[in-house]
Structure 1
Amino acid sequence: MLPSLTWPALLGVAAAVAIDRRAPAILPTEDDLTAANYSSYAPIQVQCPKRDQWVRSAGGLSNEESLWVEGRKPKVLEGLTSYLERLNLSDFDLETYLTRLQENKANVPTLGMAISGGAWSSALTGTGALRAIDDRFSPAVEQQVPTYNIGGSWPVMGLVTYNFPTIDAMIHAWHVDISRGTATTDTVHAATIQTMLEQIAPKHEAGYDLSYMDLLGRIFAYEFVAGPNGGMATTLSGVADLSNFREHNMPLPLWQAPQLVASDTSFYGIRVPADNAAIYEWTPFEIGSWTGPEEFFPTKYLGMKMVDGLPVDGCVVNYDKASFMLGMAADAWNFWLIEAYSNNTLGSFAKRATEPPQPKRSLSKRDGPPLSLLNGIASLFQQAYSLSVNAALYVSIPNPFATSTSTPNSTIVPTNLTLVDESEMLQAIPLWGLSQPARGVDFILAWDSDGDAAPYSWNNGTSLHGTYLYAQAHGVPFPIVPSPATFINRNYTTRPTFFGCDANLTMTNNTQAPIILYMGNAPYSAYTNYSAFQSSFSDENMAVILTNAFNQLSQGNGTLDAEWPECLGCAVVERSLAKVGMRRSEQCERCFGRYCWDGRSDDGAPGFVDPALVLDPSFSFEEWNRTGPQGGEFWAEV
């Protein structure tokens, strides 16, 4: 149950102090600010720097990202060279390939990784996948697994705000044994609900919209964001100033979320995103959308009022708190409420039933938090900030792309953007940003641990299929992806599967689409289908999670297929071969015959996804539950 909290200090300050929300007569410059200014959760009004343009068209990458990618290519080539030299590639002229990449580094493959949503379960199993492909982890080097650029999810925020440490060091810094939603005496690595509500109060007092996700973002931050007090002073744009980012030693992080608009369908007065909703993305450089407004704006200045591309009332910094941006990507409060109000018959996430024809909104779903907890937090927001459920329900940010009727022929765009969890669009794996032609990504590892398949919370490919349908609707090159029923019936839920190897099995019938390796979290050496909101994990928990992910990425340390490392290498280089005037080797043809989707579908009614351990089928799920390491439940403890 929610702790019984009292608010004399917080409410007393709010009642006794008249909040002056007017801008000061003379705004400070950014150079005037000190570390103390950033230690508050409140955004800071500053004088606007000189810029030729605040809002740019989404016609390509920003100058900042283009230059960063250009600087990243030599580092990728260095790692790719070491990786390919360790492989036993037959009938492949590696020397010629590497020489031609060296001559024109623009042809170096652009590689991505996308980790699905799914709260702590996906965050930690996805972290295991990161570790398995990190060449700083010695077994990964021995198993010849490459290092990728990365996009998506909670662990990525940890990876970049901690300045790209080794995965083991990052997990140690997270203190995963602590349940962050529980009132605790550990004031270094966690905080009480009361403390976190007091932390976010200055943002409300400064006149900015506050939502329940500000609070959840602070809970997440005490684990996944670097810096004192749960990364209170850490901003997303500040990542661009970290040494490993400046020196191109870490991947470019990317998050995304769909937009709600006034015309969206609602249940119980609560809106849900349309299937064709605009998807917004944000990096340390920019926030914006390739659909919808098709415009981008500097992340650093998010929070300021803009009309027709120009600032109103000065500029704002410190709005893009890493914790808030993390909470913004996980804003599912609307679905949780709908689910609770409807007695679990509405508000389903991308955990879909798979009996064909597959409905867009089925009744099978990941469990959300209980109504008592949702109502408890709503009551606290009402007491502390006088905010009703409707006022605090959604993440709402000042819209930098707002327009007014003063501009001839302009379309009226809302003054605020309302963003929600991408699971609500059946796209829990953040693939949309990585799939944009402007980024030219050649290969993506899509790690899925979203618990699509009821009742055991394994996966069925729903999110990959959902992005394919969205890409098809928007005309963006993407591999053709079959139905979730096919994933189950053809066993793509437990074995690695490539999509897009054959250019004829892409939407555009050419190599513009990336090759995507789908890896759904599966039981190789351990059953890791944890509840999404199990938030505390023992050292033993983490050991089995990391080992299981390594066994999956390495295919049982090579015991399931000794040639798997070479097959993975074939997919990594495939899209770049034509660019350097080379052809696929016979070895790669054999590999693609084994691991690439062949275009066949099986939409027959599938059974439950209930796999045995791949490396030890005799060890049952029931036995694991009886004897395996267990952890605490977040919602039960809060």
Structure 2
Amino acid sequence: MFIHPTYLLISLLSYLSLGLAWSPTDSYAPGEIECPSDGQLTRIADSLSNSELEWLQGRDKVTRENLIAFLKQANMTDFDPEDYITNQITNETIRIGISFSGGGYRAMLSGAGQLAALDNRTTNASIAGLGGLLQASTYLVGLSGGNWLVGTIAMNNFTDVETILKEGVLWDLTDSIIDFGGINLIKTYDYYDGINDDLDAKADAGYQLSITDLWGRALSHQFFAGLNDTGAALTWSTLQEADVFQNFEMPFPIVVTDGRTPDSVIVNGNSTIFEVNPFELGTWDPTLYQFTQVKYLGTNTTNGTSVNGTCIGGFDNTGFIMGTSSSLFNQFILQINTTSLSSTIQSIVTDILQRFSNHEDDIAIYKPNPFFETEIGTPSILDNQTLFLCDGGEDLQNIPFQPLLHTDREVDVIFAFDNSADTNLSWPAGISIVATYERQFLPIGNGTLFPYVPDSESLLNLNLTAKPTFFGCDATNLTGLLNSSVATSKGNIYDTPLVVYTANRPFSFWSNESTFKLSYEDWERDGMIQNGFEVASRLNNSLDAEWPACVGCAIIRRSQERLGIEQSEQCQQCFERYCWNGDLSDSVTPPVNFTETGLTDGPEENGNRTISAGFSLWQGDSKYTIMKTIGYGILACVILSFAV
């Protein structure tokens, strides 16, 4: 296979600079490494880790400069970004979080376009989008398919979406991850044979396998194709040593996953939400309220220390971490006999699947349990030698908000991109934000605060999914949240971040693909990404020329409220357009069809759908001409024309 020279260079530089953090066996198998000097691998979740706190000091300096640049570019009236941000009297640090939902490749590709619209490295994003917002952000969070996006970008030297498409090495989705070689049976055979060898290496090292090991290694062939081992030795903690991370040039990436023992059922009220960041794995929830250093996963511990003075590295394989957050897709692998694979390939895959227990089909096994016999948490976690984790969206919170709600992270505004499939036509209906809102009133919410939101029916009926919507615009209206019996005593209304919610919708492409669609032709992939750009940019800023300024108003809102500063007239008008005003809808028949300006309640079948003729400003001279006949979202014809 041809590997572009750029990726060879990245691979070489990564190897030279990150060698200490790769798997010590230079393979998928974990191996022995030196323990930390104090020997303690776990800590109570009563604060941020010292490593994250130190990193934030450096990142805050970078985001401050980038935020000034973004706010200047946004053309905000009656507001001087440089004076406001650098004013020694106010001394304000504004932290921005970006969150991408799950939803398979639909979420990854739609999210990629949305991320590209926020990235000043994307051609024309500063003109037609919100370029620079990514560079001004502190946190970048993904779940399931959204984490495929975050993980790909973060772990490939903080690459950008436009580079991925130009180089053509990553995100080759033309053949299904199940049928990786397509008609090339030799390629497919080598693919599965190589994965099987990787699993053998981990098993031979004494570690129990789960089907997520297979899934994670398969994902890595698409997300880390630029590495000669497709990420077999690439660990999540590798990022700690990356120049782009150490120099604070990228946001802090976080993976979200849920805790669940085999054969149990998750509901929103009983889920323990885990996060994996570059330094730690753990949860803020009272069911455990602990973190462990991610680099030493796989170490046999009791009460947070190694039982024999030996520590393990390499267990935190990047593909395995990303596969854990999307383990729902393990079920698809089990349907291998329903695919068109040859009998020879099916036989190989069947042999691999026989390694795994049936009752752990959608579970990732973390054994040894890093929290075994520690002192805080529920017995179901502490007394079990295995930590079981699963897809982060199984608790209905398909947008990963939780890591951004903890007061120590001081997040002022969250840009939440919802690419879920809540309706029968695979469009979002805001179920995720409703679930997160309700969770704060349960004991497991542990004092987190989330602004008021309407029910999902109102979100649809009031067109709140057809355009970006701001929640929590006025902090003084959120005082009722503090009266909850489970709210933390140290909380205040300004700890509640303002949420900018943006749902997937069609502009130039019908992006409501099935969550389980596992292959995309290049034109489909690019069309999904293009549409995502238009979703985040309000159709290349054509629907609202002040959209970047309104985003700027949302970013500075909490800071202004803390300082008692009145909004400008422009910001007041922006908030009138985009803030939820508290209205609810009593309609029992939500709309289903999109127009350029919103939703209509026409028939689901080949009804009165229309689609705008958006075109690709961010890809230079490339243009999309899209002619479609829609029947349940099926594409009839798409023509792409790229200028040379």
For each residue in 1:536-575, what CA deviation from the matched residue of structure 2 results, as whole angstroms up to 9, or x when unmatched?
3333223322322222222122321222221111001111
Under a length normalisation based on structure 1, what TM-score does the superposition of the two structures give?
0.80
In the TM superposition, what is the alpha-carbon distance from 1:93 to its structure 2 partner? 4.0
2:11 aligned partner? none
Question: How far 1:155 moved relative to its partner?
Answer: 0.8
SS in structure 2 of the partner of residue 151 of structure 1:
strand
Pairing 1:507-526 to 2, within 5 Å after superposition: 507-508=481-482, 510-526=493-509
Q: Which residue, 304, 317, 320 being the options, matches 2:299? A: 304
Correspondence list, 1:157-236, <5 A = 157-171=151-165, 172-179=168-175, 180-184=177-181, 185=184, 192-225=191-224, 227-236=227-236
The amino acid of 1:157's aligned partner reads G
Deviations 1:98-139 (A, max 9, x none): 332x6776x221111111111111011101100000011232
* Maintained 8 Å contact 1:503/1:510: yes
Tell me the secondary structure at the aligned position of residue 422 of structure 1. coil
Distance (Å, rounded) in 1 between the aligned partners of 2:162 and 2:72: 26
Q: Which amino acid counterpart does residue 637 of structure 2 have in structure 1?
A: G
Residues 1:400 and 2:370 are matched in the alignment = yes
Aligned to 1:129: 114
**Alignment partner, residue 430 of structure 2:** 461
1:90 paired to 2:77? yes
Cα deviations by residue, 1:238-262 (Å, 9 ceiling, x for unpaired):
0111111110001111011111147
**What root-mean-square deviation, in Å, do the aligned CA atoms of Structure 1 and Structure 2 show?**
3.4
Cα deviation, residue 610, structure 1: 2.8
Does the 8 Å CA contact 2:328/2:390 hold for their aligned counterparts?
Answer: yes
The answer to whether structure 1 residue 628 and structure 2 residue 637 are counterparts is yes
Q: Which residue identity does 2:279 align to in structure 1?
A: F
Q: Which amino acid aligns with 1:402?
A: F
Aligned counterparts of 1:389 and 1:478: Cα–Cα separation in 2:
38
Q: Secondary structure at the match of 1:419?
A: strand
SS at match of 2:495: coil
> Who is 1:549 aligned against?
532
- Asked if 1 retains the 8 angstrom alpha-carbon contact of 2:29 and 2:198, the reply is no
Which of 46, 51, 58 is the aligned partner of 1:64?
51
Aligned residue in 1 for 2:260 = 260
**Residues 82 and 627 (structure 1), Cα distance of their counterparts in 2 relative to 1, 3 Å cut:** same
Q: Residue 481 in 1 paired to residue 427 in 2?
A: no
Equivalent residues of 2:113, 2:529 under 8 A apart = yes
Partner of 1:50: 37
Among 497, 504, 520, the alignment partner of 1:537 is 520
Stretch moving more, 607-616 or 521-530: 607-616
Match of 1:424 among 380, 390, 394: 394
Equivalent residue runs for 1:281-292 within 5 Å: 281-291=275-285, 292=287
Deviations 1:469-511 (A, max 9, x none): 1223213111112111111111112111011112245433822
CA distance in 2, matches of 1:69, 1:187: 48
Q: Give the partner amino acid of 2:558.
A: R
% identical equivalent positions: 31
AA aligned opposite 1:417: L
For residues 108 and 609 of structure 1, what CA distance do their matches in structure 2 show?
41
Distance of aligned partners of 1:301 and 1:378 in 2 relative to their CA distance in 1, 3 Å threshold: farther
Q: What SS is found at the alignment partner of 1:599?
A: coil
Structure 2 residue aligned with 1:138? 123
Aligned length: 560
Contact 1:54 1:297 in 2 (8 A): yes
- Determine the C-alpha separation between the residues in 2 that align with 1:444 and 1:166: 21
Partner of 1:156: 150
Q: Deviations over 1:209-255 (max 9, x none)?
A: 21111111111111123522221121100011111111000111101
| 1-structure distance, mates of 2:507, 2:41 | 49
| 1:276 alignment partner in structure 2 | 270
Mean Cα deviation higher: 153-162 or 217-226: 217-226
Q: Contact (CA 8 Å) 2:23, 2:314: kept in 1 or not?
A: no
Aligned partners of 2:427, 2:190: CA distance in 1, in Å? 32
Query: Contact between 1:304 and 1:311, CA under 8 Å: does it hold in 2?
Result: yes
For the structure 1 residues 383 and 392, does the alpha-carbon distance in structure 2 shift closer, same or farther, using more than 3 Å as the test?
A: same
Partner of 2:383: 413
The answer to which of 475-484 and 534-543 deviates more is 534-543
Q: Is the Cα contact below 8 Å between 1:183 and 1:191 reproduced in 2? A: no
Match of 2:298, SS state, is: coil
Do the aligned partners of 2:180 and 2:187 also contact (CA within 8 Å) in 1?
A: no
Is there any run of 5+ residues in structure 2 with no aligned partner, and where? 1-17, 483-491, 599-609, 613-626
User: Aligned partners of 2:20 and 2:476: how far apart in 1?
Assistant: 56
Cα distance change, pair 442–505 in 1 and its aligned pair in 2 (3 A): same
Match of residue 251 from structure 2: 251
Q: Aligned partners of 2:151 and 2:596: how far apart in 1? A: 31
* Alpha-carbon spacing, 1:630–1:479, altered in 2? closer, same or farther (3 Å): farther
Residues 1:414 and 1:529: Cα distance change in structure 2 (over 3 Å): same
Residues 485/125 of structure 1: CA separation in 2 closer, same or farther (3 Å cut)? same
* Cα deviation, residue 628, structure 1: 3.4
Check 1:38–1:142 CA distance in 2 against 1; reply closer, same or farther (3 A cut): farther
The equivalent of 1:6 in structure 2 is none
1:438 counterpart SS class: helix
Show CA shifts across 1:47-67 (max 9, x none): 423126321111111011111
CA contact (8 A) 2:337 2:346 kept: no
Between the aligned partners of 1:32 and 1:109, the Cα distance in structure 2 is 34
User: Which residue identity does 1:203 align to in structure 2?
Assistant: K
Tell me: CA distance 1:378–1:522, structure 2 relative to 1, closer, same or farther (3 Å).
farther
Distance in 2 between the 1:169 and 1:84 partners? 25
Is 1:317 aligned with 2:313?
yes
Partner residue of 2:9?
Answer: none
- Counterpart in the other structure of 1:13: none
Residue 187 of structure 1 and its aligned partner are, at CA, apart by 9.0
Deviations 1:298-334 (A, max 9, x none): 1100111221122123211000000100111112268
